């Protein structure tokens, strides 16, 4: 099957990117550099290129595209281009469970729902390997304006403090519920403040809580979009 103009441009962009970098491009870089209109269009054409044998993909890795053929259908190879053959410097982060980006999800007796031995693989060019990293699968649409959609994976840095505007995982002690929101501390008129957990969706209302009822579990440091 012949390549479309868009698919040809994508292959040319990926080829050029790998010639300049020791790793393949991300979906966002293909979107920006290839002049594509949306991530869904990128996903559609990547799936088509995979079916036609031009690329191979590892969807659990942020830079998991491996170029197999060039635009002329010939085997692709650049001496020294390790990423062209999938040899990207990676490390694994455990997926600790799910978190609500909407109404909080009750999780009796635990902060997060365990998901067995599941893990995701990250490349060190997008985030530094460090202690306290873990991942959560997002359920809900309250953070869509922050480009966090239902089914996405958020990589968290474990910490118990937050600044105003940080996107954090919060445990609400009295309800035994966990949620993903932006954190804001609001001072009260008589000195007693409150926590506002703000969604990034204009159709949803914030959650207000007493500071003693809020336990911060971690801050979002990376979002991995799940493309069809």
Give catalytic residues, as residue numbers: 142, 181
Give the span between the Cα atoms of 90 and 63, in whole angstroms: 10
| Structure token digits, residue 207 | 């959650």
Give the span between the Cα atoms of 42 and 10, in whole angstroms: 9
Give the span between the Cα atoms of 183 and 162, in whole angstroms: 7
The closest of 109, 98, 103 to 181, measured between CA atoms, is: 103
Give the span between the Cα atoms of 223 and 39, in whole angstroms: 14
Query: Reduced to 3 states, what is the DSSP secondary structure of residue 42?
Result: helix
Q: Are 12 and 71 spatial neighbours (Cβ–Cβ below 8 Å)?
A: yes
Give the span between the Cα atoms of 68 and 79, in whole angstroms: 14
| Structure token digits, residue 60 | 């659990």
The closest of 168, 163, 194 to 181, measured between CA atoms, is: 168
Measure CA of the first residue to CA of the last residue in the chain; give whole Å.
22
Residue 132, sorted as left (phi over 0), alpha (psi -120 to 50) or beta, turns out to be left
């Amino acid at each position: 099957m012949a390549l479309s103009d868009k698919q040809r441009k994508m292959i040319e962009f990926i080829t050029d990117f790998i010639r300049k970098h020791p790793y393949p491009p991300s979906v966002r870089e293909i979107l920006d550099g290839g002049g594509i209109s949306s991530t869904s269009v990128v996903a559609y054409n990547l799936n088509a290129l995979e079916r036609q044998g031009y690329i191979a993909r590892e969807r659990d890795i942020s830079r998991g595209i491996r170029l197999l053929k060039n635009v002329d259908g010939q085997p692709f190879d650049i001496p020294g281009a390790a990423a062209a053959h999938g040899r990207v410097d990676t490390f694994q982060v455990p997926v600790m469970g799910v978190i609500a980006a909407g109404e909080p999800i009750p999780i009796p007796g635990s902060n997060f729902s365990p998901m067995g031995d599941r893990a995701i693989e990250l490349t060190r060019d997008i985030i530094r390997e460090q202690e306290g990293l873990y991942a959560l699968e997002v359920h809900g649409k309250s953070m869509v304006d922050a480009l966090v959609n239902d089914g996405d994976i958020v990589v968290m840095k474990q910490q118990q403090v937050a600044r105003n505007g940080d996107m954090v995982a919060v445990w609400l002690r009295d309800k035994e519920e966990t949620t993903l929101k932006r954190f804001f501390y609001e001072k009260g008129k008589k000195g007693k403040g409150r926590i506002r957990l703000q969604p990034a969706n204009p159709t949803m209302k914030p959650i207000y809580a007493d500071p003693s009822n809020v336990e911060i579990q971690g801050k979002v440091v990376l979002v991995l979009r799940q493309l069809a």
